[in-house]
Amino acid sequence: MANDIANEVLAAWETSSQYWNKHQALIEMMYAPLSRALIEDAHIGSGQTVLDVGGGSGEPSLTIASVVGGSGSVTYTDPAAGMVKAARDEARRRGLQNIHFHQGPAEQLPFSDNSFDVAVSRLSVMFFPDVLAGVREILRLVKPGGHVSFVVWAARDLNPFFSVVTTVLDRFVPADKDDEDAPAAFRFATPGKLAKALQQAGAVQVTERELAFTIEAPINVERFWELRTEMSDTFRNKLKKLVPDQVAAIRYTVQKAVAGYFKTGGMCFPANVLVVTGKKARN
């Protein structure tokens, strides 16, 4: 059963990777404040060795590589081969020499105990099939006293980038009842939930802060539709079940519903995440 869930999650991200690759630059721009928050809360600086878990199309690894510089290094990990390829290609394109790449899930990483100064994970822990095993593995790899920092989405209604679209879609294709603990984007939206998981995994001095930011990019409503329908596995699967007239109706309704978030300069959605940080205990 646990393996079935892990395989399902991985298959979905493997399919998504071609779109995360296609929209890499946009994703980097939209979520840049989240990479900055991780760098700040995990106290990342020049010369450090950093582990990035679930690095997707490259963030926060690519940003952190320039912060740690030539005397430091970043080890990017992700279980989806397509994501690893996208991130590696982008690092090569930028001529970054201080990133290493590994394909594999958080729950099982082939590094020695205490290998890294710090570990971070941006918008990924909610998809770990076994969160406790994943966080324990991350803590094993960090040196005693080292920070581990995670960013997760806060409540869906604080994130219209997602909620406006899902509200429209649910009217056409009713959503299945959510299992609050299943791998999904809003699995850790309840304040305190991820912090508790970190404590259970053995992290100490666990803190949580809410971060309000704006998802900004110079794109129009048409490009937003393309981005949202391609990036989300749920969205893609639901649209596949509909006839072209229904898709056209959803597209029209979504574009009308999000119009207020677009100005002459492009897209601007208010957004909200939780940044949860702990430390590995010193024994």
Ligand X SMILES: C[S@@+](CC[C@H](N)C(=O)[O-])C[C@H]1O[C@@H](n2cnc3c(N)ncnc32)[C@H](O)[C@@H]1O
> Per-residue x/- marks for ligand X, 68-97, CB under 6 A?
----------xxx--x--------------
Q: Whose Cβ is closer to ligand X: residue 250's or residue 273's?
A: 273
The span from the CA of 134 to the CA of 11, in Å, is 18
Type of residue found at 215: I
φ and ψ at residue 70, rounded to 5 degrees: -65, -25
Q: How far apart are the first and last CA of the chain?
A: 36
Q: Whose Cβ is closer to ligand X: residue 59's or residue 117's?
A: 59
**Contact criterion met (CB below 8 Å) for 148 and 42:** yes
Q: Residues 33 to 72: which contact ligand X by CB under 6 A?
A: 53-57, 59
Type of residue found at 208: E
Q: Whose Cβ is closer to ligand X: residue 27's or residue 195's?
A: 27
* Number of residues binding to ligand X, judged by CB under 6 A: 24
3-22: string of b/e by CB count within 10 Å (b at 16+)? eeebeebbebbeebbebbbb
By CB under 6 A, residue 27 contacts ligand X: yes
Q: Residues 147 to 206: which contact ligand X by CB under 6 A?
A: none
Helices and strands in the chain: count of H runs, count of E runs: 11, 8
Q: Whose Cβ is closer to ligand X: residue 155's or residue 247's?
A: 155
Q: Out of 37, 51, 123, 271, point to the residue binding ligand X (CB under 6 A).
A: 123
The span from the CA of 15 to the CA of 230, in Å, is 10
The span from the CA of 123 to the CA of 105, in Å, is 14
Q: CA-CA distances (angstroms) from residue 254 to 16, 63, 141, 160, 186? A: 21, 32, 44, 11, 21
Q: Whose Cβ is closer to ligand X: residue 86's or residue 168's?
A: 86
> Per-residue x/- marks for ligand X, 93-122, CB under 6 A?
------------xxx--------------x
Q: Out of 31, 116, 188, 225, point to the residue binding ligand X (CB under 6 A).
A: 31
- The CB-of-161 to ligand X minimum distance in angstroms stands at 13
Residues that bind ligand X (CB under 6 A): 9, 13, 27, 31, 53-57, 59, 78-80, 83, 105-107, 122-124, 127-129, 134
